[in-house]
A and B are shown apart, each in its own frame.
Chain A
Amino acid sequence: MIEIRWHGRGGHGIVVASDLLGEMLLEKKLYTLSIPVFGAERRGAPVMVVTRINNRPIMKRSAESNPDIIIVTDRHLVDMVDVTNGLKKGGLVVINTDEFDEELSSIFKDFKVAYVNAVEISGKWGLKLSGLPLVNIPLLGALIKATNLVNPDVGERVLRKHWKGDLGEKNASVFREAYEVVKIVDES
């Protein structure tokens, strides 16, 4: 079983991104379970999603996790939340950041890191909600590149099916661009 834990804020779209990952994996006949965990139902509050992927039905529904992968939508979350708690040794961190500086390098020193400037990519393609660039889909593109979980063509097709027309195109474009530009460093 592969466990992915998403750390974001209410409004960042990590629930949607996790559900779409399940949709992308459906064609591979894999079982997925995407469990949202949040305190207040409020925009901006820290939220979490646990995604489990397995080739057998998934029985575990408690949120406690020892993830193989964590995804962080906002680099400032690392100051508020113990994002690497339980992350397996040599595990993967996928993070939205404009630069991979010394602070991040030291926090994630035991892990493999895939980083991408999700704000810039979504801003460039005009993928915004209430004026703010959406960071979920670029991070999904970065995750797919770093893990090879699915063929990126399947990913784009699922996004175009989920959002029709122009919105589908925007999502597919940011997904593809993040897939192509994500930088991967192995600190472990």
Chain B
Amino acid sequence: MSMETRRIRKVLSGNHAASYAVKLANVDVIPIYPITPQTTIVEKIVDFVENNEMKAEVIHADSEHSAMAAAIGASASGARVYTATSSHGLLYMYEMIWWAANARLPIVAGFVTRSIGPPWNIWSDHNDYLTLRDSGWIMFFASSAQEVFDMTLQAFKVAENPRVRLPVGVAWDGFQISHSFEPVELLRQEEVDAFLPDPRDIKPLLNVDEPISIGNLPIATDNMMFRESIWRSMERARDYIKDVMNEYRALSRRNYGYLIEEYKAMDAETIFITMGAISGDAKIAVDKLRENGERVGLARIRVIRPMPVTDLVRLGRIANNIVVIDRNVSMGLGGILAREIKSIFYDFYVETPTYGFITGLAGTEVSPEDYIKIYRMVLDGEVEPSTNIWYYHGGVMK
């Protein structure tokens, strides 16, 4: 075959992998406001537009709140829309985050996780992104630059499905993914065009020939019915996301699993549950422990909303111990993933001891040796099942 049928491989950062996906998805409108570590996504997109490699309207907003407001307006008029932010930018955008979901707008956004100050910190933890979890956004979480590229393309297809019609967030860790460079294989333009729907086929919310008003005051029961319709779409999305990921897997020949990625979990007695960039180090720990005959495995959460309930219950039934690694904390309760997983286990009568470790906050390291230490603490009975075991790099319990 000729050269044009070959896919391009480039050394890209996680952020630039997102920029290339946005370019190939032929996004129409990109409202932006800069914040570290997100900024290089939109810088690259602006390069594409300025060099005429991409035809899109870039709106330089005066804040993240305005950026999402512009995204809402553009999406309501039928445009394909992308924006991105981090940390304080996400919090400043937060009112409009809910507006986008409640108005059923298929916006796709990149969220590069960064801890929230003060004290000032540009490094990753997941509390910023996890503020979306009750809002009606579908939430993906990537763990490599390649997966950022792949998930961003999948996000448009999921968001725009008429039976879903919800905004989709794709998150990845600041610096560990966003500014780390690695080889990424891009799909060809024809492949992306065939994979994604034509945005012109989507019926826009705003149409001058059929004027409606959005966000008016309905009676309370109707208002509650809107919420329930979002709930039902989110439930339907669980299967549809799997379909989209399956189709993409056949196209790309890359396999990450679906809502979760399992690594040597099938026969494991102890299963780590992780999310994001720190999952790779956990896989190395799994390999090292298995060399010593330990039956240990890993499940990496790729989709947080809708929550992968069935997968988690199945893993809970396989294992003797579940060890959840939370790079976040809900103050006054515990690690968010551990708390949610425990509540799911309760629904399904899963009584497997579940240990929640809070670690990696503010960008602190979580190395393979840390996972091995955590594993030993659980197996040697040094800790009780709880969702708030604070663990610092190197094994220090402060």
Contact = CB atoms under 8 A, between A and B. Distances in A.
A22 B177 CA distance: 15
A169 interface: no
B261 to A, nearest CB: 12
Given A26-B9, A61-B278, A64-B367, A33 B284 contact: no
Contacts of A62: 278, 281, 365-368
Interface stretch (B44-52, B95-103, B179-187, B327-335): B179-187
Given A41-B36, A59-B280, A36 B179 contact: yes
A100 interface: no
B183 A31 contact: yes
B122 interface: yes
Nearest to B282: A59
Interface string B357-370: 00000000111100
A31 B145 CA distance: 13
A23 interface: yes
Given A32-B182, A60-B281, A64-B367, A26 B176 contact: no
A58 interface: yes
Interface residues of B, number: 24
B43 to A, nearest CB: 15
A19 interface: yes
B368 A18 contact: no
A153 to B, nearest CB: 19
B182 A33 contact: yes
Contacts of A149: none
Interface residues on A, range: 20 to 34
Contacts of A15: 179
Contacts of B80: none
B256 to A, nearest CB: 12
Contacts of A64: 365, 367
A154 to B, nearest CB: 13
A147 to B, nearest CB: 18
B306 to A, nearest CB: 27
B11 interface: yes
Contact of B180 (A31, A34, A41): A34
Q: Say what secondary structure dominates the interface of chain A.
A: mixed
Nearest to B177: A61
Residue from A37, A62, A64 with most neighbouring chain B CB atoms (10 Å): A62
Q: Say what secondary structure dominates the interface of chain B.
A: mixed
B342 interface: no
A131 B366 CA distance: 40
Nearest to A64: B367
Contact of B122 (A35, A41, A63): A41
A19 B368 contact: no
A81 to B, nearest CB: 17
Contact of B284 (A22, A23, A32, A60): A60
A64 B175 CA distance: 15
Contacts of A33: 180-182
B367 A22 contact: no
B23 interface: no
Contacts of B84: none
Nearest to B145: A33
Interface in A14-59: 15, 18-19, 22-23, 26, 31-37, 41, 58-59
Contact of B277 (A23, A31, A37, A61): A61
A61 B280 contact: yes
B371 to A, nearest CB: 10
Given A23-B11, A41-B36, A64-B365, A32 B280 contact: no
Given A36-B175, A63-B365, 5 more contacts: A23-B11, A34-B181, A35-B175, A37-B175, A58-B182
15 contacts: A32-B182, A33-B180, A34-B11, A34-B182, A36-B179, A36-B180, A37-B175, A41-B36, A60-B284, A61-B176, A61-B177, A61-B180, A61-B278, A61-B280, A62-B281
Interface of B: 9-11, 13, 36, 122, 175-177, 179-183, 277-278, 280-281, 283-284, 365-368
Interface of A: 15, 18-19, 22-23, 26, 31-37, 41, 58-64
